[in-house]
Structure 1
Amino acid sequence: MDPTHSTLLHRLLDATTWRAFDVDAEGRILAGHDASGSVQLVELRPDGARVPLTALPGAVSGRYVPGSRRVVVSHDAGGNERAQLSLLDPDAVTAPLGEDELTPLVRDPDHIHGLVEVLPTGEVVYTTNRRNGVDFDLVVHRLADGTETVLYDGGGMVGGATVSHEGTRALMTRPGRPALSSQVLLLVGDTTTELTDAGEHARYGGLEWLPGGETAIVTSDSGRDHLGVAALDVATGHLTWLVTDDAHDVTARLSPDGRRLLVVTDDDGASRLAIHDADGTFLRDVALPAELRAGVADFLTLPRWSPDGTGLAITWTDPATPADVLLVDAERGRAGVVASSREPLADLDLVDPTSHGVPTPDGETVPCFVYAPPEPSGSSVVIVHGGPEGQSVRSFSAVVQALVGDGHTVLVPNVRGSVGYGKRWYSLDDVERRLDSVADLAALHTHLPRLGLDPARSALWGGSYGGYMVLAGLAFQPQLWAAGVDIVGISSLVTFLENTSPYRRAHREREYGSLERDREFLERASPLNRIGDVRAPLFVIHGANDPRVPLSEAEQVAAAVRANGVEVEMVVYDDEGHGLAKRANRLDAYPRAVAFLGRALA
């Protein structure tokens, strides 16, 4: 690879990011910053001070405890996703704290403890699979005396939860029977009431109680193709729609006083922000700073309202913004940058995508972002997101921009099965339709000449389910692709389900199919069973601690491809899980993978 381009990739990978985790009553923002190489907690104070709080080996997140100067810290070990909960006092931090310096709150390193909510009453709500390693329970931990109450132990996964203002009732979601569906439960004491049908093909999420405790805000696509915002009657389960858009997904966050909604509209991978009354009445759009491009409010770190409901802290990313913290003034409808990631990259001419619809032989249209270099070389790289129920959005990607800098045109599709384009689209890859999604890769390849690209010089890149798509493309369409980069990908749907964490197997069989009922199809849809057809060189990246897609998935596919006499490069990181969370490992792996593609597509 050209040294200039190598330097570009290192600069892009070195870019630090910010995340907004919470905001307190005094306007302090609990943020995440990865200057150390992994995301650590930093407090952003109104006077401009930035106080580093943690220095743990792995990524960290957290929430303020309302009415106090305590922070609940969520952390795991080496990317194993077994989250543990601890406490710290920001005012007592004189130097960033290591794990041993945190006050243990919920610790059991063999199990997962997911932070759900921190209540104004000083209670921490979390989920845990410590009962049997498979099913998740919903638990309230009282900080005052350490006592706990189990709100739910009915089995399965807890998708999300919210506890009522008086603390006596809770709403939660758990997976429904159809793929990518969920069910709402009302929890009162020892009584669990199903407010929606487990067999309904619909998503429910974003549950938040409204004052009075009779209704809650929920985001759902019940009876609709796209997500909308509704009021849920907790006595009857009836939905009253508040904000909908027949062409776009709409989600919302409720202010603590129950008066305002931040409404986020997903418009082809870009977020439009607006403030509404809690009854759905539109008040005002939110104007973003002029220097920001079309991008997304990152819902992996949920927008957080200030306790008085006057503003929100959000994480923002776009093709030129690795990740900033914005503070939204809800009354004026304006957002300002509190912590910026853009300055080190300000001299770079980073590329925005154009949006395309790629036709398929069966009459569908695949949404696709195209990042084109000023002087295209004719080569291309197709990057497929994970999930499968994920979505490629208009966000920053060091890999995309570096590949463009090398002269490759980058196609970033939302193949069938992706969210963001309606229920019908995200359902088109369920179980026996899995290979229809793989066929979308061939449609993208057919489209290359219309973009002025050489179909003989195109490669695949993807992580997690995207890694499965890479391997499936190379195995099922060997004549089309010149190379592949597989990151923590599934090589066999059968061995994946057999060897993944037990709690994930129970969850993922709804999407991929059951080992008991669908084994024949799962074998047929597994790239490993067609690996003898692979002729393109392969680059494999995996984390040794991956609890989702075990390392064995990478080891078996690399060995099988090598046995065919085909080039394979494989790198494994002992301190990573499902993906590369540490900058040092990204700086090692991604330049090697990009250089590999440069050779393969020359």
Structure 2
Amino acid sequence: MNETTDLLHRLLEVTTWRAFDVDAQGRILAGYDGSGTVQLVELRPDGTRVSLTALPGACHGRYLPGTRRVVVSHDAGGDERAQLSLLDPDAVTEPVGEDGLVPLVHDPAYIHGLVEVLPTGEVVYTTNRRNGVDFDLVVRRVDDGTETVLYDGGGMVGGAAVSHEGTRALMTRPGRPALSSQVLLLAGDTTTELTDAGEHARYLAPQWLPRGEAAVITTDSGRDHLGVARLDVRSGELTWLVTDDEHDVTARLSPDGETLLVVTDDDGTSRLAVHDVDGTFRRAVGLPAELRGGVADFLAVPRWSPDGTGLAITWTDPATPADVLLVDAARGRSGVVASSREPLEDLDLVAPTSHGVPTPDGETVPCFVYSPPQPSGSSVTIVHGGPEGQSVRAFSPIVQALVGAGHTVLVPNVRGSVGYGKRWYSLDDVERRLDSVADLAALHAYLPRLGLDPTRAALWGGSYGGYMVLAGLAFQPELWAAGVDIVGISSLVTFLENTSPYRRAHREREYGSLERDRAFLERASPLTRIGDVRAPLFVIHGANDPRVPLSEAEQVAAAVRANGVEVEMVVYDDEGHGLAKRANRLDAYPRAVAFLGRALG
């Protein structure tokens, strides 16, 4: 292996931690990928670490309050059909496989998504078992298996929260405008729309206040940026608690309803603070000295301890793969409970600088630039998925390995990205899709200002980022020297026709409708212009991908090859939407990086 491959292997083999839950005794339910996929580990206050699962694929879980049981969410081979099972940590003598779990909600033909565990020992979940398309919201009593359906009104279920007395629920579902949502109050057989389905606003993470007359919610209703508000469940009136006109703000409410952990998104970094429930600032939360300029990973939601004294969070930054932190809310301090940094301490990992890249139509694309100590002049632009995703200042083996190979790496938040306000995330909806693709050309035009060679520029992206790679190569063939497409969309039409039915209904709001917008979808599809592609292409896909079917990769690879252009394609039979298993990442990513090395010279 050469030095770049050596470095990438080392970076990919670093193990990471995630915080999933905290119980009343201070035990933390964590995710650890030492086996190659994320499995459950219990971190105990005395420093003991007990490995709980050894499942075929990645999993996550929550403690079942009042018991010593864990609710485990797991799927098969990345198919995203989550199943729910129970596990007793005290009975584990060695990590258990599927046969060591007690089934709770099982039907492998459908998805059962864990939403919440209640203090009463009940489990709240969503499921599409009624018709395979629409999701219902269900509460299941664990002791006797009885279930109550809270919502079966169709569509996707976003966030949900059951009231303290257990008789009502708040739920968010998609609204009519792209990336918008609506809040419903569910009470017995009555469903009340607290917000308008036609409002162009997001409502996220409803959390009941103890007396049950209101909830804390994150929203950008009437604002450009997300803020934290009190939502009156009788009138639907919002009262703002914490806002910032320049940044998105989110919050997590303590179990006693007295305290908020407030997280401010500042250009891809997280600032943490503790506030009173009325929004009054108490104190900032300090990080350990070795951690700075990173993000609290909300894929693993910060979890308050049952007594409300602290929280377990997941933290990552360019030099920290993923650590578990325990936050002391009273003191505004945090400490590392499980660290991932030690294997990398001898490496000089690069932190990005922040740039605003101008576009011909007067916009500015936020962009992080990772520069090697001795730039070779080549560049790789990495586009995130979504499209309503966000590139943040997180650890990336790919970025650091490319920088180690001498490439300058640009990580933009093109229009359509979240984290920079409602106006920005709306600029790629439906007929504006190609405006987002045009941002790639603006990034390319910026390369000489960074001292880079525009003839040695490549694209890399996954999922929607894969679409952007293919669109860049097809619509701007004179600009790009190579592309790496990971589980990307090659045709918006065939993607919508062949994706899982539940995702089609959801995604048509963002991309456009097959019925109404087919002509535009054809025009915006890379496959329509595939004859213009000149640059070599590397394609990675999972055979079990329920979001972007394997056929998307197969058709673009075949079409590019038919034009005499180099294509290298790798497919993994045990993967879904992306590469969850370390063994597959160790195989695919060094090949992709070596491919770029050859293409960029």
Is the pair's TM-score, using the shorter chain for normalization, greater than 0.5?
yes
- Separation of aligned partners in 2, 1:110 and 1:137: 15
- Separation of aligned partners in 2, 1:281 and 1:37: 43
Equivalence for 1:444: 443
- Separation of aligned partners in 2, 1:15 and 1:504: 33
Q: Secondary structure at the match of 1:552?
A: helix
Letter in 2 for 1:91: D
* CA RMSD after TM alignment: 0.4
2:474 equivalent to 1:475: yes
Letter in 1 for 2:217: V
Equivalence for 1:93: 92
Equivalence for 1:55: 54
- Separation of aligned partners in 1, 2:113 and 2:142: 16
Equivalence for 2:350: 351
- Separation of aligned partners in 1, 2:554 and 2:15: 32
Equivalence for 1:236: 235
- Separation of aligned partners in 1, 2:148 and 2:530: 51
Q: Secondary structure at the match of 1:508?
A: helix
Q: Deviations over 1:481-512 (max 9, x none)?
A: 00000000000000000000000000000000
Equivalence for 2:389: 390
Letter in 1 for 2:133: V
Equivalence for 1:532: 531
- Separation of aligned partners in 1, 2:98 and 2:253: 33
- Separation of aligned partners in 1, 2:569 and 2:92: 41
- Separation of aligned partners in 1, 2:538 and 2:3: 23
Equivalence for 1:41: 40
Equivalence for 1:66: 65
- Separation of aligned partners in 1, 2:38 and 2:82: 14
Q: CA deviation at 1:202?
A: 0.1
Identical aligned pairs, as a percentage?
Answer: 88
2:206 equivalent to 1:207: yes
Q: Secondary structure at the match of 2:357?
A: strand
- Separation of aligned partners in 2, 1:247 and 1:502: 37
Q: CA deviation at 1:192?
A: 0.3
Q: Deviations over 1:357-389 (max 9, x none)?
A: 000000000000000000000000000000000
Letter in 2 for 1:336: G
Q: Secondary structure at the match of 1:173?
A: strand
- Separation of aligned partners in 1, 2:187 and 2:292: 46
Equivalence for 1:319: 318
2:495 equivalent to 1:496: yes
Equivalence for 1:267: 266
Instruction: Give matches, 1:319-468, under 5 Å.
Output: 319-468=318-467
Equivalence for 2:252: 253
Q: Secondary structure at the match of 1:43?
A: strand
Q: CA deviation at 1:144?
A: 1.6
Q: Secondary structure at the match of 1:27?
A: coil
- Separation of aligned partners in 2, 1:23 and 1:594: 39
Q: How many residues align?
A: 601
Q: CA deviation at 1:293?
A: 2.2
2:182 equivalent to 1:183: yes
- Separation of aligned partners in 1, 2:345 and 2:49: 22
Letter in 1 for 2:22: V
Q: Secondary structure at the match of 1:199?
A: coil
Instruction: Give matches, 1:579-590, under 5 Å.
Output: 579-590=578-589
Letter in 2 for 1:318: D
Letter in 1 for 2:508: E
Q: CA deviation at 1:206?
A: 1.2
Equivalence for 1:550: 549
Q: Deviations over 1:445-481 (max 9, x none)?
A: 0000000000000000000000000000000000000
Task: Please tell me whether the aligned partners of residues 136 and 155 of structure 1 are also in contact (alpha carbons under 8 angstroms).
Answer: yes
Q: Normalising by structure 2, report the TM-score.
A: 1.00
- Separation of aligned partners in 2, 1:93 and 1:431: 50
Task: Please tell me whether the aligned partners of residues 383 and 411 of structure 1 are also in contact (alpha carbons under 8 angstroms).
Answer: yes
Task: Please tell me whether the aligned partners of residues 418 and 426 of structure 1 are also in contact (alpha carbons under 8 angstroms).
Answer: yes
Task: Please tell me whether the aligned partners of residues 463 and 487 of structure 1 are also in contact (alpha carbons under 8 angstroms).
Answer: yes
- Separation of aligned partners in 2, 1:6 and 1:209: 50
- Separation of aligned partners in 2, 1:263 and 1:339: 23
- Separation of aligned partners in 1, 2:481 and 2:426: 30
Equivalence for 2:298: 299
- Separation of aligned partners in 1, 2:284 and 2:244: 15
Q: CA deviation at 1:42?
A: 0.1
Q: Deviations over 1:92-111 (max 9, x none)?
A: 00000101110000000000
Q: Secondary structure at the match of 1:511?
A: helix
Instruction: Give matches, 1:541-580, under 5 Å.
Output: 541-580=540-579
2:224 equivalent to 1:225: yes
- Separation of aligned partners in 1, 2:375 and 2:65: 53
Letter in 2 for 1:450: R
Letter in 1 for 2:118: L
- Separation of aligned partners in 1, 2:204 and 2:102: 32
- Separation of aligned partners in 1, 2:362 and 2:541: 36
Q: Normalising by structure 1, report the TM-score.
A: 1.00
- Separation of aligned partners in 1, 2:79 and 2:33: 19
Q: Secondary structure at the match of 2:334?
A: strand
- Separation of aligned partners in 2, 1:93 and 1:255: 30
- Separation of aligned partners in 1, 2:98 and 2:264: 39
Equivalence for 1:506: 505
Task: Please tell me whether the aligned partners of residues 293 and 319 of structure 1 are also in contact (alpha carbons under 8 angstroms).
Answer: no
- Separation of aligned partners in 1, 2:56 and 2:293: 33
Q: Secondary structure at the match of 2:45?
A: coil
- Separation of aligned partners in 2, 1:364 and 1:516: 32
Instruction: Give matches, 1:268-287, under 5 Å.
Output: 268-287=267-286
Q: CA deviation at 1:435?
A: 0.1
Q: Mind listing any 5+ residue stretches in structure 1 that lack a counterpart?
A: none
- Separation of aligned partners in 1, 2:424 and 2:98: 43
Letter in 2 for 1:341: S
Q: Deviations over 1:503-523 (max 9, x none)?
A: 000000000000000000000
Q: Deviations over 1:318-371 (max 9, x none)?
A: 000000000000000000000000000110000000000000000000000000
- Separation of aligned partners in 1, 2:67 and 2:279: 32
- Separation of aligned partners in 2, 1:64 and 1:460: 42
Q: CA deviation at 1:527?
A: 0.1
Letter in 1 for 2:210: P
Letter in 2 for 1:238: E
Task: Please tell me whether the aligned partners of residues 293 and 320 of structure 1 are also in contact (alpha carbons under 8 angstroms).
Answer: no
Q: CA deviation at 1:67?
A: 1.3
Q: CA deviation at 1:6?
A: 1.1
- Separation of aligned partners in 1, 2:99 and 2:146: 23
Equivalence for 1:131: 130
Equivalence for 2:80: 81
- Separation of aligned partners in 2, 1:175 and 1:350: 40
- Separation of aligned partners in 1, 2:574 and 2:4: 28
- Separation of aligned partners in 2, 1:517 and 1:395: 39
Letter in 2 for 1:367: P
- Separation of aligned partners in 1, 2:256 and 2:546: 39
- Separation of aligned partners in 2, 1:5 and 1:434: 35
Q: CA deviation at 1:35?
A: 0.2
Q: CA deviation at 1:5?
A: 1.5
- Separation of aligned partners in 1, 2:65 and 2:87: 14
Equivalence for 1:288: 287
Letter in 1 for 2:223: R
